[in-house]
Amino acid sequence: MTSHLTRRQMVIATSALLTGLPAAAQDFPSKPLRIVVPQAPGGGTDILARNLAVRLTELLKQGVVVENRTGAGSLIGTEFVARAPADGHTLLMGGIFNMVMNKALIKNLSYSPENDFVSLGYVSAYPFVLLTRPDLPVNSLAELAAYAKARPGKLSYGSGGMGTLQHVWGAVLTNSLGLDMVHVPFKGAAPAHQEMMAGRLDIMFDNISAAKPHIQANRLKGLVVSSAQRSAQLPNLPTVTETGLVSFEGESWFGVFAPAATPAPVVARLRETLAAINRETEFVARVERDGGRMLNVAAAQQEAFLRNEIERWVGAVNRYKVTAD
């Protein structure tokens, strides 16, 4: 009799445990969510976060607001989420800029991208385009390499600032081609574009969404794209690797992250919701209009994706001695 009761109690206890797991997800969200963007309003990261917030609000039946926490590059906002309550209500709009490049460039980083966060879903990825001033007498990467090698230390490449993706990838590409060029950092990409159009800056690696209007208007020339495949937005431009000069693949990607200790059922709920948004025709069309592609990484591969990106770009930064100083 006692044995029978014990077994029955065990069944009840097990059932309670099993039903309790989805209950955590059912109770979530219990209050409005916020997506912290560690960059200023109006940029690509901010716009993507706001588009996501609209859809998350509708699908989760709870308000989702975007909060810009800027300062120290992207460190302040990113660290804020790493230390936030791990209940799924404070999320981070992350990307290669704060989850990979900060790790590659900053000694004693105040957070660990791999250990302090759990990825909820990767959203989109955007190739870069190598731009030249309109009057530079080159029309291919091979011609640029030959032209620059004949003028060591005379040509310049621009960026939106020290440690930006434009700076790092510009340094990696020019160094891997064996070019001696001067880096000129600006406060944002727009002033660099103006200097190129005025003929005072020679080249710049920049995001396709920012570069495409200038290329189409013949204000700047595009030579190659950074992605593994050609871009549908600029189909006539070859990839860097396609030129046969050097192997280079990179995209500026974005994803949503939560503090590492967020409960598994809440993580699962958010992953399912973000994956659903990634399949929406209108959302996909918006990303593709801006020159990007959807970045659908299965939950089981998300941790490996981040670790591989960190390993790859930390290695390149060290190999070519790129610094943010």
Domain boundaries, the chain: 31-125+251-319, 127-243
Q: Give which of 175, 177, 168 is closest to 142, Cα–Cα.
A: 177
Q: What is the mean pLDDT of residues 190-214?
A: 94
Q: Which one is the CATH code of 31-125+251-319: 3.20.20.10, 3.40.190.150, 2.30.110.10, 3.30.365.10?
A: 3.40.190.150
Nearest to 194 by CA among 128, 139, 133, 138: 133
Give the residue-averaged pLDDT of 43-48. Answer: 89
Query: Can you give the pLDDT at residue 139?
Result: 97
Least confident of 126-130, 196-200, 290-294: 290-294
pLDDT of 25 reads 61
Average pLDDT for 235-242: 97
Query: Looking at residue 12, what is its pLDDT?
Result: 47
Residues in contact with 307: Cβ distance below 8 Å, sequence separation at least 6, in sequence order: 114
The token duo for 279 is: 């399949």
Give pLDDT, residue 324: 86
CATH number of 127-243: 3.40.190.10
Q: Which secondary structure element, helix H or strand E, spans residue 157, and what is its range? A: strand 156-159
* pLDDT, tens only, 157-183: 999 999 999 999 999 999 999 999 999
**127-243 has the same fold as 31-125+251-319:** yes
The whole-number pLDDT of residue 16 equals 42
Residue 323 has pLDDT above 60, yes or no: yes
DSSP for 45-106? HHHHHHHHHHHHHHHHTS-EEEEE---TTTHHHHHHHHTS-SSSSEEEEEEHIIIIIHHHH-
Give the pLDDT score at 19.
45
**pLDDT greater than 50 at residue 151:** yes
Cα angle 45, 308, 115; round to 5: 75
Mean pLDDT of 70-76: 90
Helix axes 189-197, 208-216, angle to 10 degrees: 20
pLDDT per position as a tens digit, 93-132? 999 999 999 999 999 999 999 999 999 999 999 999 999 9
What pLDDT score does 294 carry?
95
Listed as own residue / partner, the contacts of 216-222 with beta carbons closer than 8 Å and 24 or more positions apart are 218/134, 219/134, 220/131, 220/132, 220/133, 220/134, 220/193, 220/196, 221/131, 221/132, 221/133, 221/134, 221/136, 221/139, 222/129, 222/130, 222/131
The SS3 assignment for 44 reads helix
In the predicted structure, residue 264 carries a pLDDT above the cut 50: yes
Q: What percent of the chain has pLDDT over 70?
A: 92
Is residue 74 within 8 A of residue 39, CB to CB? The reply is yes
Nearest alpha carbon to residue 269 among 14, 47, 91, 103: 91
Cα-only R_g, the chain:
23
What is the distance between the alpha carbons of residues 22 and 264, in angstroms, rounded to a whole number? Answer: 10
Looking at every residue in the chain, the average pLDDT score rounds to: 92
What is the amino acid identity at position 191?
A: P
pLDDT of residue 21: 46
